[in-house]
Amino acid sequence: MPAPDADKFCIHEMDYIWIEFKKHVKEKDGSLTQILRIRKSKGLKNRTGLSKFYNIKAVYNINREKEFYRAPIQYRNNEAEIKITAGKTSFFKVYVFVITETINYIAETSFYVFGSSKNPIHRDILRTELDFLPNLKIIYPEYNYWPQTGQEFKFLLGSDKVNFTVNDAKVIDKGNIETLKLSPDGKFSYIPPSDKLLDLQGISAFKGNILYFRMKSNNKITKLTYTLLLHRSRFANLRLKHGIALFVGTIIFFTFSVLIARKRSPVII
């Protein structure tokens, strides 16, 4: 199910690319395909045309292993799409990047795909190193059924190969920009707020909030986005006291009803 109001994530004055989640498709053989769309911010569009982005590349790795695989990009109706297929339950991390002389635009995201097929999936393994990719580590909350609003996420940026300085760290949530807090342990902390629209859409509905990092190293700027796939909170709206009160109240009501009915007729209801 596509995230709503995707265009709201494009901010005029900021230039970045980001990954948008589209639908997932059930294949006939039991595998599942997640369709992603590569988006540009309006600020980036105003500067460069889409054709300049034919050198856009996409790779992914599976289950946090070291190998990278090429993700073919398909262009349809001025949209760039990536399809990731999984035959069995797999965790994917996708990287989309455009390297220019002055700025590296990188978009990342990660997600599970619950495939159910015995057929092997052909993947194109990448033989080259990707040293320019910063290492974005996400620390998920302790109870993590899937990422939800209301839970605290922490982000740690670093790289084994290159020294980065983080100049800017923001989160973009449907046009609202918020600066990410840096906690004393050097990690960025973010608690996605509850989203009423998401709450109305159903248990499987999601949205992708964008984490934007502007980094500098050796006179090169890297603009990194991470699309945090969020579902509505499973627990934030639960009210135990209300439930127990209703439960006990119902028991009392029905107990009296039954006792009265039994009093009226000792034999039968």
Distance from C-alpha of 94 to C-alpha of 64, rounded to nearest angstrom? 11
Nearer to other proteins, 31 or 225 (CB): 31
Cβ-based neighbour number of residue 26 at 10 Å: 11
Nearer to other proteins, 54 or 253 (CB): 253
Instruction: State which of positions 210-249 bind other proteins (CB under 8 A).
Output: 232-233, 235, 237-240, 242-244, 246-249
How many residues touch other proteins under the rule CB under 8 A: the total is 40
Instruction: State which of positions 109-128 bind other proteins (CB under 8 A).
Output: 116-117
Cβ-based neighbour number of residue 61 at 10 Å: 17
Nearer to other proteins, 125 or 203 (CB): 203
Residue 250 CB, nearest approach to other proteins (Å)? 3
Binding to other proteins by residue 193, rule CB under 8 A?
A: no
Among 2, 4, 6, 27, binds other proteins (CB under 8 A): 27
Do residues 39 and 17 make contact, with C-beta atoms less than 8 angstroms apart? yes
Place of tokens 């579902």: 231
Binding to other proteins by residue 146, rule CB under 8 A?
A: no
Q: Which residues lie closer than 8 Å to 211 by C-beta, 6 or more apart?
A: 155, 169, 170, 171, 172, 180, 188, 190, 225, 226, 227, 228
Q: Tokens for 7, please give them.
A: 């265009």
Binding to other proteins by residue 35, rule CB under 8 A?
A: no
Binding to other proteins by residue 12, rule CB under 8 A?
A: no
Do residues 209 and 4 make contact, with C-beta atoms less than 8 angstroms apart? no
Binding to other proteins by residue 258, rule CB under 8 A?
A: yes
Residue 28 CB, nearest approach to other proteins (Å)? 4
Taking the chain, what is the end-to-end CA distance rounded to the nearest angstrom? 50
Burial (0-12, 13-18, 19+ Cβ within 10 Å), 83: middle
Among 64, 129, 131, 200, binds other proteins (CB under 8 A): 200
Give the residues lining the site for other proteins (CB under 8 A): 26-30, 116-117, 199-205, 232-233, 235, 237-240, 242-244, 246-251, 253-255, 258, 261-262, 266-269
